[in-house]
Structure 1
Amino acid sequence: MHTTAQTIKKVFTASIISASLLCSGFASAHQDVDHQSQLEQAISGEHRSAKNKARDEFRHPKETLEFFGFKSSMTVVEITPGGGWYTEILAPAVKGKGKLYGAHYPDTGEDNYYSNSRKQLVKKLASDPVFSEVELTNFVPRKESELAPAGTADLVLTFRNLHNWRDAGVEQAFKDAYKALKKGGVLGVVEHRLPEGVDPKKAMGYVSQSKTIEQAKAAGFTLAASSEINANAKDKAVYPKGVWTLPPVLRLGDTDKAKYMAIGESDRMTLKFVK
């Protein structure tokens, strides 16, 4: 009887554990579906213009954010959101579940690119309730900046900014990102990629991938993975007006427009670093 009772107890306990693991698995799968669904809804949302959606072909927002491990419950920092192309996706993708900080240039009251960029973003955020939970912080290139409260961020993102910050600026921005992130947090970098062996002076706007990796490592990060999601083999990087010769800028106007449209947007490195 004692043996039978023990056997029944073991079977009962095993059943409870199995059921618990099964429920946990279902919950995890359900959460993954929820995160994916909220991201997909954000990307297809009516608040995004047809012009911005047309660039999804080249910027691959869903694949890129999923590569970085994005979840709608995360605290996310976007460094210098610019015109807010990615903000249009990130804001609704975390709304109600996570948190989005836009670490942007401060408005100093001056009539310059930095202040005007901040003013335009503030105006954009006020234009639609989808942005109501976004919190702006100050990012000053080449100076220590608090992107978010220290150790609170799950994910820090920068899209096509490194070429503007230059070496000293990149190094400081990576240090700022490291400070903002939790242990195990991710720094996601997307940038115009300089082909190996090409003179940087002949490829304006492009950045060395190997140098970027070394700069991130110097800030304390470990390279977790790289992806070719945003690669473009047609891009050779040497053009009259640098990377801005290509779309979407097309700085040469109608001159050779068909040629540059056929190339498409730049070849971009996509790097995932972990704290």
Structure 2
Amino acid sequence: MKTRFAFGLSVALLFAGVAHAQQAAQDQPAGDLVPPTSASDFTSGQLDAVLAGSWRSEHNKARDVYRHPKATLQFFGLQPDKTVIEITPGGGWYTEILAPLLRDNGHYVAAVSGGKSGEDKQDADALRTKFKADPAEYGKAGIVIFNPKAPVFGPPGSADMVLTFRNVHNWTMAGNAEATFKAFYAVLKTGGTLGVVDHRAAPGATLDSVKESGYLPTDYVIKLATDAGFKLDGQSEINANPKDTKNYPKGVWTLPPTLTLGDKDRDKYLAIGESDRMTLRFVKTGVNKAPATPASNSTASH
């Protein structure tokens, strides 16, 4: 409760006199994303308050040492008054940070694949349960369902920022990475930011030699974005891990947090930590290259 009060007081002091964003409807269509209302940057203190929030699970907090959320979000230029779409948030690790940060003056949208069964459905159901169980933190967050074969994340030019963490390798293996990046470009406003974090292959590795391992060449990911129309705006070593040799029996999933091999060499892999990761920032500089896909392919819910 003390953390919640401190964060609330910080927001009140920092945003006194600024009109709050209108509350998003609980079950809004994908096109009704809340527009930005101010131009203030997040302070370091605001990020610290949310990272320490009681609503974050202890398991997720333990991953901060590997995922560097504060530095990563600062590098991407996250601001409190923006519409931010997180693509495929999985179990909601970054959701626990982004949704509360954006609650009062911006809008957080989780984009999840529209699978009717399996992991996709489990993730979507888990997010809805999380949002419903804690309306104080997630009551204004939204969910948009997309078709991975023809992805649409909202109406063209409706988002200020698109973020995705450790997902590009999955889209690459599924053969829909190019379409996904084009959809990022379509949903972002001109000047909007795309932030990407993913497992980084060893220098000189080819895509064919590593794509089943979960690692990707950095130049491949950059090309996906630039082919879609983005301009590379920055690279960071925030999420680098020099201990990661990138050569394991079960690929990147050998390392924590997955630890696919179970107890076999567990201490060895725990000592390495999570994977070495690229952290890339792109900007949309011009008009959409690809024609807009009909909005009927996308639905939104909580």
- Equivalent residue, structure 2, for 1:104: 112
Instruction: Return the offset for 1:170.
Output: 1.5
Distance in 2, Cα, partners of 1:69 & 1:157: 11
Matches of residues 97-136 of structure 1 in structure 2 within 5 Å? Answer: 97-106=105-114, 108=116, 111-129=117-135, 130-136=137-143
SS at match of 1:103: strand
TM-score (norm 2): 0.76
Q: Is structure 2 residue 197 aligned with structure 1 residue 197? A: no
Aligned partners of 1:107 and 1:210: how far apart in 2?
A: 30
After superposition, the CA RMSD in angstroms is 1.8
Q: State the SS of the aligned residue for 1:31.
A: coil
TM superposition score normalised by structure 1? 0.84
Residues 155-199 of structure 1 deviation map (CA, whole Å, 9 limit, x = unaligned): 100000011111642211111111111111000000000112346
Residue equivalent to 1:8: none
1:66 — aligned with what?
A: 74
Please give the secondary structure, in 1, of the residue aligned with 2:151: coil
Q: Larger relative CO (CA 8 A, sep 6+): 1 or 2? A: 2
Structure 2: distance between partners of 1:36 and 1:234: 29
CA–CA distance in 1 between the matches of 2:202 and 2:121? 33
> Does the 8 A contact of 2:40 with 2:81 survive in 1?
no
Tell me the distance in 2 between the aligned counterparts of 1:95 and 1:37: 16
How far is 1:227 from its partner? 0.2
User: What is the match of residue 37 of structure 1?
Assistant: 45
- Matching of residues 1-275 of structure 1 within 5 Å: 31-32=40-41, 35-106=43-114, 108=116, 111-129=117-135, 130-141=137-148, 143-166=149-172, 168-198=175-205, 201=209, 204-275=213-284
Query: Which structure shows the higher helix fraction?
Result: 1
TM-superposed CA distance for 1:128, in Å, is: 1.0
Contact 2:40 2:79 in 1 (8 A): no
Whether the 8 Å contact between 2:114 and 2:145 is mirrored in structure 1 is yes
Aligned residues: 243
How much has 1:112 moved relative to structure 2? 2.0
Q: Once the 2 structures are TM-superposed, how far is the Cα of residue 107 of structure 1 from its aligned partner?
A: 5.2
Contact 1:193 1:209 in 2 (8 A): yes
Distance (whole Å) between structure 2 residues aligned to residue 169 and residue 208 of structure 1: 17
Structure 1 residues 198 and 145: CA distance shift in structure 2, 3 A:
closer
Aligned partner letter, 2:275: S
Query: How far is 1:35 from its partner?
Result: 4.2
Q: How much does 1:139 deviate?
A: 2.4
Deviations 1:107-160 (A, max 9, x none): 53xx3222222112211222212111111111222x232212321211100000
Superposed CA offset, 1:47-80 (max 9, x none) = 0011110100000001000100001111100001
Structure 1 gaps of 5+ residues are 1-26
Instruction: Quote the offset at 1:264 in angstroms.
Output: 0.6
Whole-angstrom distance in 1 between the partners of 2:105 and 2:47: 12
**Aligned partners of 2:83, 2:47: CA distance in 1, in Å?**
14
Q: Distance in 2 between matches of 1:263 and 1:224?
A: 30
**Do 1:35 and 1:71's aligned partners in 2 also have CA atoms closer than 8 Å?**
no
Distance 1:120 1:136 in 2: 11
Q: CA deviation at 1:253?
A: 1.1
- Letter matched to residue 77 of structure 2: G
Partners of 1:180 and 1:39 in 2: how far apart?
26
SS at match of 1:102: strand
Letter of the aligned partner of 2:95 in structure 1?
T
- Distance in 2 between residues matched to 1:166 and 1:139, nearest whole Å: 17
Secondary structure, counterpart of 2:40 in structure 1: helix
Contact kept? 1:107, 1:116, Cα under 8 Å: no
Q: In the aligned structure 1, how far is the partner of 2:46 from the partner of 2:179?
A: 33
- Checking the alignment, whether the CA contact within 8 Å between 1:171 and 1:215 is kept in structure 2 is yes
SS of 1:176 mapped into structure 2: helix
Moved over 6 A (4+): none
- For the pair shown, the structure with the greater C-alpha radius of gyration is 1
Q: Is the 8 A contact 1:35 1:72 kept in 2?
A: no
